[in-house]
Structure 1
Amino acid sequence: MNDKNSSDTTRRPRIVIAGEFSAGKTRLLNGILGQTILPSHVVSTSLPPMWLSSGDGDPLRLDVSGSWHELTDFDAIDVMTTRFCVLQTRSPALDHMDLIDTPGNSDPNIPPECWERMIPYADMVVWCSNANQAWRQSEKAVWEEMPDHLCGISVMVLTHADLIPDDMARAKVRRRVEREAGGFFQHIEMVSALDSAQVADFAARLVDMARNLTTLGGIAAPDFNPDRILPEVLSSARSTRRPRGKVIVPRRLMPAGDGASPSARRVP
């Protein structure tokens, strides 16, 4: 794996979604994608970083030794031995950027290196902070150690804004955070992931910010092409596999409001 900074501005920018445990990162990412591809319930806190990219390739897992494996089920992922997983899907947002979902930096069950290892790939970070307890000392400590190229171009999103009772209280929280954390971020926004219009507006602004990045400071990424990653393993598996339309892929939860149960439904 090449650890030198990437100067290839023809690739899509990479946006890492990070923040503290239960800060609403995955729900926000699903809203940006316009589809519920990652579970946001409690079990999802045991997931390793998930790299979302535009495409139709097979889901893949990269282990900590640098070897690729097929990924067939979220529940089978060993977080401690996984560097990250790659999921390809079609989404308007992914036409302009890759999104990387990370475990919470304060998750008591996952070592911090599980999310920290994704920061070198980032061209920009969306840092999620729970508006009810925004910008804690532990968050400030993380940003004091962030690479210089991510400070001043990244974005903070104050999540769970719907839990703050009124506009006056929300404005007070935002003013405090802007005063204390404004030096680290180009924008500080307050978003409720339950409000689809707010999320859509934020997604559009994020696409604009990604497209306006003049320097992509993230390091070179591994090759996601499965035919070059695991030609023997994948060709052997595909020879005995059911047709592409019948392959079981990681669980994709159905969007809210479709009447489906938010668990255990799998789609090709």
Structure 2
Amino acid sequence: MSRASEQFLAEIRDARERLIETRLTDTALTYCIAGLSRIEEALRRPVRVVILGEYNSGKTSVADLLIGAGLLPTSVVANTQVPVLMTYAETASMFGVTEAGTRIRVDGDENDPLTDIAFRAIQVALPLEHLRRLQILDTPSAASPAAFIEDADIVIWCTVATRAWTESERALWASLPPRCCRNALLVATHKDSLHLAEEVTSVTERLRAMTTGLFRDIVLVAAEGGRDDGAAGHAGATDTGAATLRNAVASLAGEIADRRTHKAEKIVRRLGRLTFHHLSSARLRPEIATLLTDWESRSGLIVEQLTAGTRTVPSAIEELLQAYAGFAELLSPGVILGDSIPVTTARALTAPLHWPANGAAAQRLVKTLVSDLTALLRMLAARSTAASPRHGDYQTARGILLALADLDGSFAALERMLGSSTPDAPA
């Protein structure tokens, strides 16, 4: 996970905890807190690497290289006929997973009769920091590869370097969903069987030519009996390709984490905006609620006229800003104009604007603008509501939601769009 992703996760965790501390029972807020919790869970979920390949293609050894050569208990899981999932834990342990989903620890006494149970999967937990971010699933050759790719984020296909990419492998890979290619690596094992550098180059070039568009990258590894790259103190240590493999997986995992964060940011902004709009609207005084209803009617009419083509984009935006200024002043005098700025010279209403040229994009912009201005008016309305025992908590919650909705960012984007567009362009 990148630093930006970690920072975003910390921000929404802090927002969720602060919303809980308000101890408000508003339904919209309850849904928002639950939504933030689910987003946190999704962002924390480790990237799952699924290792596929035919019989004796070196899958378990590739998993061992990803974890750290020699750390995987291969004497227990090698040649297993069930999938083996490697995860993080503070203490090393191994569990068998029954058909009913029950986990039974199997790393104790080797004579333990529980180890004779037919498990449908094995889970190996190791105290390795990088397994906080990655889960590695080693799959049995006898099973269909398609059975394991539903939850796969990264797919590794193992092939033997000396007979790489056979017709049967092509057929199996072609049977998988095309999305598998997006974050897939082709790993050619038994690199140490290629004695000359020219052979390594030849195999790599042949695989690239035969698998164009099917994998993000191709890595050759000495997955059987080799040491990690550059093992100190060992003359002539084998270049296993482990570092190259780990770097390739780490790069893909970083991309996936960034995409998750980008999607989560959009969802959080939407969630914050919707909650902000609905939070405690019933608690407003009748006259203020009526004022907001008038704003919604007026802004809705402007959008309808824009959609129908009877109003231009420039006039729609200008009237929305003027209407917002008027309603905001009624709710909180001085918030727009101040005590000494006359209406006729307010900078927000007189500054020259450059209007967007794209009609469809501009209409979407106007609708977003209406939504954001409505949220800000609701916040002002809440400030002007008579004090109550929980009023401070509602104010705190609204401030948190305002930050989640990133309305400042929305208006900055509006400013950039208006500033970069052609002046006086037709709607």
Shorter-chain TM-score above 0.5: yes
The answer to which structure has the higher helix fraction is 2
**Given the alignment of the two structures, is residue 209 of structure 1 paired with residue 252 of structure 2, yes or no?**
yes
Written as runs of structure 1 = structure 2, the 5 A alignment for 1:1-268 is 8-40=42-74, 44-56=78-90, 58-72=93-107, 76=115, 81-103=118-140, 105=141, 111-113=142-144, 116-193=146-223, 194-197=226-229, 198-213=241-256, 214=258
Following TM superposition, the consecutive aligned residue runs of length 4 or more in structure 1 with deviations greater than 6 angstroms are: none
The structure-2 alpha-carbon separation of the partners of 1:128 and 1:77, relative to structure 1 and needing over 3 Å to count, comes to farther
Q: Do 2:82 and 2:139's aligned partners in 1 also have CA atoms closer than 8 Å?
A: yes
Structure 2 unaligned residues grouped into runs of 5+: 1-40, 230-240, 261-427
What TM-score does the superposition give when structure 2 sets the normalisation length? 0.43
> Radius of gyration: which is bigger?
2
* Partners of 1:23 and 1:124 in 2: CA distance: 18
2:165 partner SS: coil
What is the identity, as a one-letter code, of the residue corresponding to 1:69? I
* Partners of 1:54 and 1:30 in 2: CA distance: 14
Q: Do 2:45 and 2:133's aligned partners in 1 also have CA atoms closer than 8 Å?
A: no
* Alignment RMSD (CA, Å): 2.7
* Partners of 1:210 and 1:8 in 2: CA distance: 14
What is the identity, as a one-letter code, of the residue corresponding to 2:228? S
| CA offset digits 1:203-222 (Å, max 9, x no partner) | 13312221211557xxxxxx
2:200 partner SS: helix
Cα distance, 1:143 vs. partner? 0.9
Cα distance, 1:199 vs. partner? 0.8
Structure 1 unaligned residues grouped into runs of 5+: 1-6, 106-110, 217-268
Percent identity among equivalent residues? 24
Q: Do 1:34 and 1:91's aligned partners in 2 also have CA atoms closer than 8 Å?
A: no
Cα distance, 1:49 vs. partner? 1.0
Cα distance, 1:43 vs. partner? 7.7
The answer to which structure has the higher strand fraction is 1
* Partners of 1:133 and 1:77 in 2: CA distance: 36
Q: Do 1:49 and 1:83's aligned partners in 2 also have CA atoms closer than 8 Å?
A: yes
Q: Do 1:161 and 1:191's aligned partners in 2 also have CA atoms closer than 8 Å?
A: yes
* Partners of 2:119 and 2:146 in 1: CA distance: 13
The structure-2 alpha-carbon separation of the partners of 1:35 and 1:133, relative to structure 1 and needing over 3 Å to count, comes to closer
1:204 partner SS: helix
